[in-house]
């Protein structure tokens, strides 16, 4: 296992000086008896965008699902907003302020755009809060207001990705977990998606943890990044350090 390099000062350095919003220590996870994540440490501060890069099968999605509560960890600690959530189910984690956008099947294709957004707020009882969140989503993605009555499954891939983020925002999250947000999108749509993620972090204080293979197009919006190989974190660097690299192939 390669030695972990310590990050230099970065756009998120001030945020990480305080206790992180999410703190994962020694996470071990897998499927059945097969362990695929080994002693993973990572953290995300308030308003920080953090990426986990790695090839297919590196353990990125299992790590994300363990944090969210879709996969029960085999061991380790997961703390969110000072609460121990290791082994907690997804539903209570949503109430705490976590939300996950999976890599595939991230919208309800047979429902309208509006109904998809309403489902995102199904745990919120206040109608006023739901209306405010809907207004915020429409401000970020005006097309979702324009296409309110359109079936989600008839939208383009990029529009569905926008809708998926809109659904997530309707839950009022503090931490957004994103699994391969660039999957299946053109480079121009990936750039638009990443710019939106960066804007939500800067302007709304949203914390973001995303897993990706696309380093080049993700890098402009991240504060820090971890590289994962064979279920282990092999490197942590700031965005500034990563931009100085001429290649990333040796990290995959």
Rounded to whole angstroms, how far apart are CA atoms 97 and 93? 6
CB 184 within 8 A of CB 152: no
pLDDT on residue 158: 85
Provide mean pLDDT across the span 224-229: 95
List Cβ<8 Å contacts ≥24 apart for 246-252: 248/53, 248/215, 251/53, 251/227, 252/53, 252/54, 252/55, 252/227
Provide mean pLDDT across the span 212-221: 87
Rg of the chain in Å (alpha carbons):
18
**149's torsion region: left (phi>0), alpha (psi -120 to 50) or beta?**
alpha
Give domain 1-97+211-246's CATH number out of 1.10.3720.10, 3.40.50.300, 3.90.1150.10, 3.40.50.2300.
3.40.50.300
CB 117 within 8 A of CB 169: no
pLDDT on residue 4: 41
Rounded to whole angstroms, how far apart are CA atoms 249 and 96? 37
Delimit the domains of the chain by residue range. Answer: 1-97+211-246
Rounded to whole angstroms, how far apart are CA atoms 118 and 138? 13
pLDDT digits (tens, 9 = 90+) for 126-135: 999 999 999 9
Whether the pTM exceeds 0.75: the reply is yes
pLDDT digits (tens, 9 = 90+) for 161-199: 889 989 999 998 999 999 988 887 788 888 888 888 888
CB 251 within 8 A of CB 229: yes
């Amino acid at each position: 296992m390669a030695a972990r390099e310590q990050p230099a000062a970065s756009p998120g350095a001030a945020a990480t000086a305080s206790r992180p919003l999410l703190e994962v220590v020694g996470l071990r996870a897998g499927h059945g008896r097969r362990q695929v994540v080994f002693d993973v440490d990572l953290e995300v501060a308030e308003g920080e965008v953090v990426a986990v890069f790695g090839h297919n099968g590196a353990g990125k999605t299992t790590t994300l699902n363990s944090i969210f509560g879709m996969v029960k960890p085999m061991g380790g600690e997961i703390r969110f907003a000072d609460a121990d959530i290791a082994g907690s189910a997804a539903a209570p984690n949503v109430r705490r302020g976590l939300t996950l956008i999976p890599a595939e099947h991230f919208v309800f294709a047979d429902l309208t755009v509006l109904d998809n957004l309403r489902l995102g707020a199904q745990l919120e009882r206040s109608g006023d809060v739901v209306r405010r969140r809907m207004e915020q989503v429409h401000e970020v993605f005006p097309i979702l207001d324009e296409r309110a009555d359109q079936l989600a499954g008839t939208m383009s891939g990029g529009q569905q990705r926008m809708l998926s983020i809109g659904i997530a925002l309707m839950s009022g999250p503090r931490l957004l977990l994103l699994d391969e947000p660039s999957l299946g999108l053109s480079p121009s749509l990936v750039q638009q998606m990443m710019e939106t993620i960066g804007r939500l972090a800067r302007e709304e204080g949203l914390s973001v943890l995303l897993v990706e293979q696309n380093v080049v197009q993700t890098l402009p919006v991240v504060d820090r990044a971890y590289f994962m190989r064979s279920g282990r974190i092999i490197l942590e660097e700031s965005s500034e350090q990563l931009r100085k690299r001429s290649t990333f192939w040796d990290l995959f």
